[in-house]
Amino acid sequence: MALLARTDSMLPSLTGWWNDFFTRDSFDGGLPNFSSTRTSLPACNIRETGDNYEVEMAAPGMSKDDFKVTLDGNLLSISSEKSEQSEDNDDDEKYSRREFSYQAFQRTFQLPKEVVDADKIKARYENGILHLTIPKREEAKQKPPRLIEIA
């Protein structure tokens, strides 16, 4: 009895590559995902300093108007919806090719309760990265160690 399945082909993955090469649409940019709907989540970095929480979200190719940032209680939500339409040929409703593109995402983060100063949150979009600075309330900031004298 054999524990491993055996194939007689020396390069079994070549068949899939070969079929993919000839069946792929040449106008899709060579992407493995043939759908024109993109739903991948942008990567996020969240850093805590003594005074703030800092969120960085990588979202190249967007503008600041594409984002919606909301704070509901202690839930921070960052979302975006963007749709584009490109046309190759438009002759009185006779299309030779017409493509639609739609991008959407939503990321939600739970912030510690009673820590965030919601009125002072700042956001900016620069070089493809959305930056959020979420300040902590004064009473929630970490204080330096205090020396207690012994009597």
More confident residue, 3 or 141: 141
Please check the confidence at residue 96 and state whether its pLDDT lies above 80: no
37-85 tens-digit pLDDT: 445 788 999 999 989 999 999 988 888 999 999 989 888 999 988 776 5
The fold adopted by the segment(s) 35-89+97-140 is Immunoglobulin-like (2.60.40)
Average the pLDDT over 81-108 and give the result.
Answer: 70
How big is the chain by its Cα radius of gyration, in Å?
Answer: 25
pLDDT of residue 86: 55
Nearest-angstrom CA–CA distance, 57 and 102: 19
Query: Tokens 């909301």 appear where?
Result: 70
Q: Locate the domains of the chain by residue range.
A: 35-89+97-140
pLDDT band with cut points at 50, 70 and 90 for residue 98: low
- Tell which residue, 75, 71, 72, has the closest CA to residue 122: 71
- Angle, CA of 81, 84 and 86, to the nearest 5°: 170
For 33, residues 6+ apart whose C-beta sits below 8 A from its C-beta are none
Q: What is the pLDDT of residue 81?
A: 83
In this structure, are residues 78 and 107 in contact, taking their beta carbons and an 8 Å threshold?
A: yes
Alpha-carbon distance of 9 to 32, in angstroms, equals 24
* Residue 95, Cβ density class (10 Å: 0-12 exposed, 13-18 middle, ≥19 buried): exposed
Whole-prediction pTM: 0.60
Residues in the chain: 151
